[in-house]
Structures are given as C-alpha cells and as structure tokens.
Amino acid sequence: MDGDEETAATGADYPEPEADGGAPEVLREEGAGVRGERFDPTPYMRQLRGRGGGGEYLDVKWRLLWLRKEHPDAEIVTEHVQIEPTLAIFKATVTLPSGGKATGYGSETAGDFGDFIEKAETKAIGRALNALGYGAQFGERDEEPAAPPRFAPRPPAEPPRLPERPARPSARQEAERAVPAAASVAGTDPVADAPRSADGDGGA
C-alpha cells in the first residue's frame, strides 16, 4: 500500500458502534479526529465484572480516539522507566494544546501478559488520559480490566495411605516379651526365681 492509498483509506468517517452496542473493529487515527468533532464514549463503554463488583470501562483505544477528535494536536510522550526480561514500567504524559497536562504510569509482567512491554505502555497512556477526563470517570477503577484469574496449580494428590502397621518393637521390648514366654515354657517364674541381693532387691 503506498501513501496515496493510505490517505484515501483513512479519510473515511469512523464506523458507528455495532448493532449490539459493541465497538466497531476498526480504529483510525486520522479522518474524523482532525475535524474536531464531539465524541460520545457511551456506546464504547463496557461493563466489567471482577473483584469487588463491577464498573464501566472505556478501552484505551477509544480514549485515544476521543482525545484525537477533541484535540487532534494533543501530544502523547511515553518513556520506559524500567524494562527487564519479565517486567516493564512506563511513564506517559499527555499534553493538551489548551495547556492541560497529565502523567500516568503503567507496569506489566511477562507472567501476566505475553506482550507485557506494550501492555505497560498502554496502561500508562490510559491512566494519563483518564486523569485528563478521557475515561469512564465513575467506573470502579481507572486501569486495564483484570486478566482472568490465574489459579495456582493443584498440589499433587496424596498417594493412598496403606493400612497402618503396628510399630516394630524395639530390641528391649522384644527381650522383655521373650523372658516371660521362655519362663512359662520352662515352668519357672523369672521374678520369683531371680537372685536377690542382701538388701532384698533383685539383681546384682
């Protein structure tokens, strides 16, 4: 696609929300946005269900469209604060031509989202836009919807327990049992027949 085709393709009007109220699949950053038209975010809001109840949420792509429709010359500057193999933190600053300015931070981990670097940057932009009034102002939170809950892996099932066997007697216990048994076979009483010391105690 060369530049002329791209210009022609982006010059069309933005699509209206789908019949079911859902947002259209196409998002353009030129076109209607440069005309300064009013933007109604209501059809693009979605309901979140999650921890602590639910709330309305406006995706960052629709916040950007809203910003561009009202302020086509607004400036968005992002910078990475920290990028590691499994963590990204971004800072985004949005400046309006009228002088309004807001900064937002976003972080993401590789364990929660595959494209964690892009996600962190998007979160930062979304938070800065929300601070300027581009978002679901009365929603529960001003951040990306929570990812589906991740459950810790189940611990392995315990192996079935074998019936308990009595503990093996110690050598002393076996010897104590053996002495009376041997005495009964011989017909003697080991206690009565035991040698006595002068003070009357048995044994040496």
Please check whether residue 5 lies inside any domain of the structure.
Answer: no
Please check whether residue 123 lies inside any domain of the structure.
Answer: yes
Name residues whose C-beta falls within 8 Å of residue 7's C-beta, 6 or more positions apart in sequence: none
On the 0-12 / 13-18 / 19+ scale of CB atoms within 10 A, 40 is exposed
Structural domain that includes position 106: 22-131
Give residue 89's pLDDT: 97
Provide the number of structural domains found in the chain.
Answer: 1
Please check whether residue 92 lies inside any domain of the structure.
Answer: yes
Helix (H) or strand (E) holding 118: helix 116-131
Give residue 101's pLDDT: 96
Residue 52 Rama label (left phi>0; alpha psi -120 to 50; beta): left
Q: Is 182 helix (H, G, I), strand (E, B) or coil?
A: helix
Contact in structure between 92 and 121 (CB atoms under 8 Å): yes
The pTM score is 0.52
Please check whether residue 177 lies inside any domain of the structure.
Answer: no
Mean pLDDT by 10 residues, the chain (204 residues): 40 51 47 59 85 81 93 96 96 95 97 95 96 72 47 59 68 69 58 57 52
Please check whether residue 52 lies inside any domain of the structure.
Answer: yes
Please check whether residue 27 lies inside any domain of the structure.
Answer: yes
Q: Minimal CA–CA distance to 90: which of 25, 41, 152, 144?
A: 144
Q: What Cα–Cα distance (Å) separates residue 15 from each residue in 63, 85, 124?
A: 16, 39, 27
Contact in structure between 46 and 62 (CB atoms under 8 Å): no
**Rounded Cα gap, residues 174 and 168, in angstroms:** 9
